[in-house]
Amino acid sequence: MKNITRVIIAILILAMMLPAALSCAQTETPGETTAPAATEAPDGTEESTEAEDTIFASSNIPDDLKFDGTTVNILYWDDVPNVEFFVEDLTGEAVNDAIYRRNAKVQEQFSVNLNYVGTSGNNQNMGSFVNACVNSTQAGADAYDMFCGYSMTGATLMTQGVTQDLTNYDIMEFDKPWWPKSLISKATVREGIYFASGDISTNFIHMMYLVMFNKEMLLDIHNMNAEELYDSVYKGQWTLDKFIELTNGTYLEQDGDNLLSEGDRYGVVVTNVHFDPFYAGSGLTTIEVNSDGDLVLSADLFSQKTVDLLEKLCELLHTSGNAYIKKSEPLFAAGQALFIVDRPYIITRSLTSTSFNFGILPIPKYDAEQAEHLTCLGFGYTMYMVSTAAPNPEAAAATIELMAYQSYLNVTPALFEESMKLRYADQSDDAFMFDIVREGVDIDIARLFTTQLDKMSYSIFRNAVNTNGAGSYMSAQKGHERALNKKITDINTTLKSLQ
């Protein structure tokens, strides 16, 4: 049955042209401000993968589109978690070289120069990055063409009126697989897309939430091979109940203190900042866009389904004794947990020298009736934008589209191979799992407006899980709804003023 299922999955992936999704890379050196003026591929280097030679989708970017040596000036956040924007030279490292060739391809094909200028812009420095972007729009011919910022800055810059609607540019192909489906279905605001991410951002791939599991522990505790767990995904049976079932009976006192402590063995380890994917993975949203283009509070937030989800999670994480939520990454790396819920980001950071083999799974579905696996992103990825004051807006939009396409062809597969030590082309079970995770990335618009919502985009659900508050969750409904609706009204008023 497994072989038949794998063939079906392979056919579906070929038909849908799903790309790979993947994991961690090296960290960019802080303080770097400007990329080399040109990074043409040196003689003898391998050419970029061409779509017609692979299972990948093709692009409609015109081959003869040229911008006659135009310089595209790009302001980016230089405290980004993992290398993304440019590298100095070829080094033999897969991700480094894929980024180098991507940039060289863009410069050569369009006859442009990419000038990267870095400034701080992470969670702690968002305000200064936003100010730099806004101030640049007053700089006339010296204004930046593109902004590449921490995920939360996209909505902020849009409400400041300094980013363009990317759907106005014919070259943007938002129906292609290098852009997530939810970018159109959930992140379109007033019929426009003012910030975009996907394969173009290596950190988008790093920040996708998924489940990792210890293959040896699965066999020892449940007498189950990893293939059986992969098959549960293929058959639509990898659900929250199945996940909880497999954590049963996993706890083992190991350090002699007779307490649930970090020296013991558990079924799952996950810290409070990583509770969010259970909500997104159950198909639940916090904010939606109505038919008039206004943001509205989703009925999901205080639904019976959310209460049921909270009850299951609180039982697992606080009562069962099979979970540990004070620390996760080092426990899993030490072989003390069957499952961890986290991002691919941790693989090369903590799991390269583990004494056990681990595998990849999507976030479990709420139940078997749910059509697909869904997940959310950690916030540390990049939104790409075109400035309203861009001196070269056509070249900027074209650069974004071709960078996204080339990243899809080359950078994302390199990320997978560097982190998993497997060839993506071989389509292992883990490659299929990554494809499923990537295909199910859900860009909840509430998370994009986290700053404007005073963090209520995630804090209401996350805090309820963290405090074992399933029983009292609904008692706070009116207060939370009142606070959220006020914030939403303010956002809508701002958006209308920009029209």
Residue 265 has pLDDT above 80, yes or no: yes
pLDDT tens for each residue of 57-67: 999 999 999 99
Question: pLDDT tier at 23 (50, 70, 90 boundaries)?
Answer: very low
Question: pLDDT tier at 474 (50, 70, 90 boundaries)?
Answer: very high
- Report residue 200 as tokens: 């173009």
Q: How far is it, in rounded angstroms, from Cα 318 to Cα 324?
A: 8
Average the pLDDT over 457-461 and give the result.
97
pLDDT-wise least confident of 91-105, 272-286, 436-450: 436-450
pLDDT tens for each residue of 225-240: 999 999 999 999 999 9
Query: What integer pLDDT is reported at residue 443 of this predicted model?
Result: 82
Residue 350 has pLDDT above 80, yes or no: yes
Domains observed in the chain = 17-206+378-426 (3.40.190.10), 210-376+445-488 (3.40.190.10)
Q: Are 361 and 212 in contact (CB under 8 A)?
A: yes
Closest CA to 269 of 329, 352, 333: 329
Question: pLDDT tier at 353 (50, 70, 90 boundaries)?
Answer: confident
Question: pLDDT tier at 190 (50, 70, 90 boundaries)?
Answer: confident
pTM of the entire structure?
0.88
Residue 167 has pLDDT above 80, yes or no: yes
Closest CA to 281 of 309, 317, 319, 314: 309
Question: pLDDT tier at 49 (50, 70, 90 boundaries)?
Answer: very low
Query: What integer pLDDT is reported at residue 383 of this predicted model?
Result: 97
- Report residue 359 as tokens: 């595998």
266-269: strand order across its sheet: 323-324, 266-269, 337-342, 210-214, 358-361
Question: pLDDT tier at 46 (50, 70, 90 boundaries)?
Answer: very low
Query: What integer pLDDT is reported at residue 419 of this predicted model?
Result: 84
